[in-house]
Amino acid sequence: MWVFSATACRWLGAGGALAVAVGGWAAGTLPVRGGQGLWEPRGSAVTVAGGVLAALGLTLLLAAWWRYGVLLARGLRGGVRTTLACWTAPLLLAPPLHSADVYSYIAQGAMVLEGHDVYGAGPSVLGPGDLGAEAAASVGGNWTDTPAPYGPAFLLLAAAVVKVTGGAVVPAVLGMRLIALGALALVVWAVRGLRGGPGGPDGALWLAALNPLLLIHVVGGVHNDGLMIGLMLGGVLLATRGRWVLGSVLVGCAMMIKSPAAVALLFIGVSLARGGGLRGLAKGLVLPGAVAVAVAAGASLLAGTGFGWLRTQSVAGAIHTPLSMTSDLGLGLGLLLDGGAEPVKGAVQKLGLVAALAIIAVLARRAYRGRLDPVLGLGLSLVALVALSPMVQPWYLLWGTVVVAAVAWRSRAGQLLGVFSAALLYETQPSGHTPWYGFVLAGAVLALGLRWARREPWEPVAADRTVPAAPVTAGR
């Protein structure tokens, strides 16, 4: 029937994305001031109606995406990039959706231009007459006085947007969204280059780029995670083609957006080291990291912000997010013990990070021995890092999901990551708030998705097969 066809999925998803965008004009993360009559509160009744419309649109988008994935798993080919364009277009002029983080980005870019220490203070230092003051007024409460945890490369991009737009909220948000679109283009290029493994690049794009979690949070929410992922995966693609130096440069740039991209250097090094004995192992462990460190040093000096980003990497962990298993466990144990909640919580968070590093080491060892595709190992490592991190946001799942999609979308891991992506869509509202019923909806979607995955499992990719080392030329 036509209603179950790929064409129907394309238009159903486009309608859902349009409903999300239209609903967002009333119920999105609107600025406190500076909306220029476009992004302004319109009364409680209109806000509620907008929220309902956005929720219905999100459900339509999710249903269309999932049906499309089933068709691709059954052998459908072609049309994914056209569908991606149809689903992305309605979100381009929407206000920020599901998060106020973009206001922090703009304010931090303005702090760089105004000469403030972005790694020593938060957006609250911006005065009424400063660039970015309107954006600073809309920054979420947790981040108002929090130093930037982002690298200097991203701050340079944010500062450029503020300089071009004069710091006005609406143009600045749209400028940041152009960067997010560039990140989406990078993801598409890298995923297609890596070919997606069994099932081909169309299915890989379905899980990586067409994923509503990415569209809503990277394009709609304008999160810089998309740029980190695009640069990181682009660097990995170049490394698999033997251009490991340029690949390490791109990963270094990704690190200067957000630091978790550094995990990719380990797996580039593993690919470089395989088959080279002790000398190859030493080269793999040292050279990609040395290239990335040079990039980081250059970016830090060029931005004029210094190396303060090294001391702010843990600031996000101080903010409790209910998706962090280690934070929740530590807080619960702390409340049961007499020693106080925070010390116990901190200890459990550190243990979680140690466990994540151990998992990453095991995966890297398997990749070095040829028992695991290094790119798949990177994706699984990032998933483990997120799962055991002291701070977890819904869009963090994209770090590993996009990488796994690029080489093994039609696998058990890919299927389960698709299920979790669907569930996490409902955790936050268009306004950026996280109400209790968001977790109820997410739990219901997760339960249904896991039941479906158990009944109709996708055929596994032979993740433990012997993977031949990619040819790498030392001079490139």
Q: How many CB atoms lie within 10 A of CB 357?
A: 15
Query: According to the model, what pLDDT value does residue 36 have?
Result: 80
Is a pLDDT exceeding 90 seen at residue 49?
A: yes
Cβ–Cβ under 8 Å, residues 335 and 320: no
In a domain, 434, yes or no: yes
Token digits for 225? Answer: 């995670």
Torsional class of 451: left (φ above 0), alpha (ψ -120 to 50), beta (otherwise): alpha
Token digits for 66? Answer: 């999932």
Query: According to the model, what pLDDT value does residue 5 have?
Result: 85
In a domain, 22, yes or no: no
Is a pLDDT exceeding 90 seen at residue 264?
A: yes
Query: According to the model, what pLDDT value does residue 468 have?
Result: 36
In a domain, 162, yes or no: no
In a domain, 472, yes or no: no
CB burial readout 323-338, b (16+ within 10 A) else e? bbebbbbbbeebeeee
Q: Which residue has the higher pLDDT, 28 or 334?
A: 28
Query: According to the model, what pLDDT value does residue 461 have?
Result: 42
Q: 259-263, 393-397, 464-468: which has the minimum mean pLDDT? A: 464-468
Structural domain boundaries enclosing 358: 79-99+173-455
pLDDT (tens digit, 9 = 90+) per residue, 316-350?
A: 777 788 899 999 998 888 888 766 778 888 899 99
Cβ–Cβ under 8 Å, residues 428 and 55: no
Token digits for 432? Answer: 């950026």
In a domain, 229, yes or no: yes
pLDDT (tens digit, 9 = 90+) per residue, 191-229?
A: 999 987 777 899 999 999 999 999 999 999 999 999 999
Query: According to the model, what pLDDT value does residue 474 have?
Result: 37
Number of H helices, E strands in the chain: 19, 0
Query: According to the model, what pLDDT value does residue 472 have?
Result: 44
Cβ–Cβ under 8 Å, residues 309 and 300: yes
In a domain, 154, yes or no: no
Average pLDDT over residues 396-416: 95
Query: According to the model, what pLDDT value does residue 463 have?
Result: 40
Confidence of residue 2 (pLDDT cuts 50, 70, 90): low
Average pLDDT over residues 19-28: 95
Number of domains in the chain: 1
Q: How far apart are CA 449 and CA 423, in angstroms?
A: 8
Is a pLDDT exceeding 80 seen at residue 433?
A: yes
Is a pLDDT exceeding 70 seen at residue 417?
A: yes
In a domain, 258, yes or no: yes
Query: According to the model, what pLDDT value does residue 440 have?
Result: 94
CB burial readout 386-395, b (16+ within 10 A) else e? bbbbbbbbbb
Token digits for 21? Answer: 């965008």
Cβ–Cβ under 8 Å, residues 163 and 113: yes
Is a pLDDT exceeding 90 seen at residue 360?
A: yes
Is a pLDDT exceeding 70 seen at residue 466?
A: no
Query: According to the model, what pLDDT value does residue 305 have?
Result: 82
Q: How far apart are CA 435 and CA 96, in angstroms?
A: 18
In a domain, 165, yes or no: no
Q: 60-69, 140-149, 150-159: which has the minimum mean pLDDT? A: 140-149
pLDDT (tens digit, 9 = 90+) per residue, 289-318?
A: 999 999 999 998 888 888 888 888 777 777
